[in-house]
Amino acid sequence: MEVRSLRLDDYYSDNTIICRCEEITLGEIRELIRKGYRSVDEIKRISRAGMGPCQGRTCRQLIMQEIARFEGKSLSELKMPTFRPPTKPIKMEILLGGEKDE
Amino acid sequence: MNKRANVVIIGGGISGCAIAYNLAKKGVKDVIVIEKDYICSGSTGRCGAGVRMQWGTEMNCRLAKYSIEFFERANEELEYEYDIEFKQGGYLIVASTEKEETQFKKNLELQHSLGIPSKYLTPKEAKEIVKHMDESKIRCATFCPKDGHLNPFHATQAYANAAKRLGVEIMTYTTVTGIKVENGAVVGVETSKGFISTPMVVNAAGGYSKAIGDMAGVDIPLYPERHQILVTEPVAQMQGPMFMSFSLNIYCQQTPHGSFIMGRGDANEPKDFNINSSWSFLEEMAKTCCELLPPLRKLNIVRQWAGLYEITPDRQPIYCESSEVKGFFIACGFSGHGFMFAPVTGVVMSEIILGEPTSLPVEKLHKDRFLRGEEVYEPSVV
Ligand SMILES: Cc1cc2nc3c(=O)[nH]c(=O)nc-3n(C[C@H](O)[C@H](O)[C@H](O)COP(=O)(O)OP(=O)(O)OC[C@H]3O[C@@H](n4cnc5c(N)ncnc54)[C@H](O)[C@@H]3O)c2cc1C
């Protein structure tokens, strides 16, 4: 059976929003990669991509693909970004213990 | 690879980058910064990036004032293409004990004598500045409108980019593994990418500075201590100043982006390199925050992390050339306030390296003070 290959280029343009929480486009990510920021952690710190409420659930993978493409590496050769708790946003008052939830 | 340099700086945090920039600005060629991960991967990228002039010793007031005046013009001086996001919303420091109140009044007198525009506030006046605070929890407060906070990534990158434009080489993902000393003087640095011969090495390795000292046979009295911090979802601007209390153990700021960042210390932390996050921090932080700033209880926490303070016996930094090994320079031990002193670190270390008199009063911060029993105590530290 012939397998179709989906080319990223056809689907993502420079205007595509990569990080929806912080509204960062693929074009901005590509620019940062060109400037020498070559890991998800570095790109996150300088652009805020992945710092929003979803904590990079969507953009992390896409940014890694862009870095891999730019450097001609496979995803497995890249340094994995740091995952930080909490896994889901948690309301401050939930942590107070003994207090009623409204 | 066999390289040579005039000065090798170990550490790509804000200290190392500021030192590199100042050396290059003074015309020093062949300066190399070595960073084991990426720029800002150490404490700098994990810090609250708060800056304040409200200190309790003349030295710290002067140094902090110099730093803040630099940050005010840093975008221009460093010709930074983005923005270091210096928000001068002031620091509101609240007192909850009598002892604190007495100390704050002394601090204010000192600060005023040095031209620092801080002032005394009653609980009611304090509440006018931070409307969502519970003023019944405090005795009084002090406020300085020039204090504030920055974006630590951008501030460091601004120094790094300016240094690079002036010819500094920054080697990231390169680890220093040894320092070669011959006849009591530095001759080179061993790295994961080969040997670099150099007569001068600067130890700006943050929490790892003690290990770097050991490589040169120089004992640095320093231990790492984990400090944790959290960030919430962004909300509309509602808090201008950094809100801080020493006795209640909290600092809390709202960034220009809208998220709240808050942290506290824990006196029972073991002295090690652990930078994992703990659940108990979230609980304690939430408790203190909701007590003092009740409306914030509705905020969602999106992320927590931790970083290292590098603590000296008197909780003040070390700036000097080692008396034991010629060409081994030390800029570490910031004990939780190295971000705000970075502009000072850059200037005075470049002067010390070039053998010039220092333009700011840092003579007391030589490492040998610990041998002589001349520690410098500062009453206002977190
Ligand atoms: C939670 C928290 C909150 C803070 N809040 C504030 C604040 O509000 N205001 C303030 O002024 N300060 C604050 N601080 C303190 C501040 O972060 C530090 O004092 C400051 O960032 C120190 O900068 P540095 O460049 O000296 O060290 P670092 O930023 O730690 O840089 C040292 C670098 O050296 C590198 N390195 C180490 N060993 C080697 C090696 N062998 N080879 C190569 N590279 C190496 C590390 O990777 C690291 O990047 C806070 C700290 C923490 C942890």
Chain B positions touching A93 (Cβ under 8 A) are 286, 290, 297-298
SS (H, E, C) A19-50: ECCCCEEHHHHHHHHHCCCCCHHHHHHHHCCC
| Structure tokens, A10 | 């056809």
Strand pairing of B242-245 and B91-95?
parallel
Phi, psi of B168 (to 5 degrees): -70, 140
Residue B42 Cα to ligand 1 middle (Å)? 5
- Mean pLDDT value of segment B62-85: 97
Out of B45, B286, B305, whose CB is closest to A95? B286
Interface mutation vs chain A, best among B302, B304, B305, most A CBs within 10 Å: B302
According to DSSP, the residues that pair with B319 across neighbouring strands are B331
**To the nearest whole number, what is the mean pLDDT of chain B?**
96
In this structure, are residues B74 and B191 in contact, taking their beta carbons and an 8 Å threshold? Answer: no
In this structure, are residues B258 and B232 in contact, taking their beta carbons and an 8 Å threshold? Answer: no
| Structure tokens, A17 | 């929003």
Task: Mean pLDDT check: name the lowest of A36-40, B117-121, B273-277.
Answer: B273-277
| pLDDT grade for A101, boundaries at 50, 70 and 90 | very low
- Mean pLDDT value of segment B31-35: 98
| Structure tokens, B4 | 């040579």
SS (H, E, C) B244-283: EECCCCEEEEECCCCEEEEEECCCCCCCCCCCCCCHHHHH
**Distance between CA atoms of B352 and B321, rounded to whole angstroms?**
7
In this structure, are residues B377 and B58 in contact, taking their beta carbons and an 8 Å threshold? Answer: no
Cβ of B89 below 6 Å from ligand 1: no
Phi, psi of B31 (to 5 degrees): -100, 130
The tens digit of pLDDT for each residue in B133-143 reads 999 999 999 99
| pLDDT grade for B104, boundaries at 50, 70 and 90 | very high
> CA of A72, closest CA in chain B: separation in Å?
19
**Distance between CA atoms of B335 and B341, rounded to whole angstroms?**
11
The tens digit of pLDDT for each residue in A66-79 reads 999 999 999 888 88
> CA of A52, closest CA in chain B: separation in Å?
7
Cβ of B309 below 6 Å from ligand 1: yes
pLDDT at A4 over 70: no
pLDDT at B58 over 90: yes
Chain A positions touching B297 (Cβ under 8 A) are 91-93, 96
- Mean pLDDT value of segment B45-65: 96
Position B382 scores a pLDDT of: 59
Q: Is the ipTM of this complex over 0.90?
A: no
- Using a 10 angstrom Cβ sphere, with 0-12 exposed, 13-18 middle and 19 or more buried, the burial of residue B99 is exposed
pLDDT at A12 over 90: no
- Mean pLDDT value of segment B348-362: 97
pLDDT at B359 over 60: yes
Cβ of B176 below 6 Å from ligand 1: yes
User: If you measure CA to CA, which chain A residue comes closest to B45?
Assistant: A45
The tens digit of pLDDT for each residue in B106-120 reads 999 999 999 999 999
Say whether residue A1 is in contact with chain B using an 8 A CB cutoff: no
The domains found in chain A, sorted by start residue, are 17-92 (1.10.10.1100)
The tens digit of pLDDT for each residue in B151-203 reads 999 999 999 999 999 999 999 999 999 999 999 999 999 999 999 999 999 99
The domains found in chain B, sorted by start residue, are 2-47+153-222+314-372 (3.50.50.60), 91-144+226-309 (3.30.9.10)
In this structure, are residues B322 and B367 in contact, taking their beta carbons and an 8 Å threshold? Answer: yes
pLDDT at B95 over 90: yes
- Mean pLDDT value of segment B215-237: 95
Say whether residue B304 is in contact with chain A using an 8 A CB cutoff: yes
The number of C-alpha atoms within 13 Å of B368 and in the hemisphere containing its C-beta is 8
The tens digit of pLDDT for each residue in B77-89 reads 999 999 999 999 9
- Mean pLDDT value of segment B20-42: 97
| pLDDT grade for A102, boundaries at 50, 70 and 90 | very low
- Mean pLDDT value of segment B258-282: 87
- Mean pLDDT value of segment B286-308: 95
| pLDDT grade for B272, boundaries at 50, 70 and 90 | confident
The region, left, alpha or beta by phi > 0 then psi within -120 to 50, assigned to residue A92 is alpha
Say whether residue A84 is in contact with chain B using an 8 A CB cutoff: yes
| Structure tokens, B228 | 């944790």
pLDDT at A99 over 60: no
Residue B11 CA: nearest ligand 1 atom is: 34
Cβ of B50 below 6 Å from ligand 1: yes
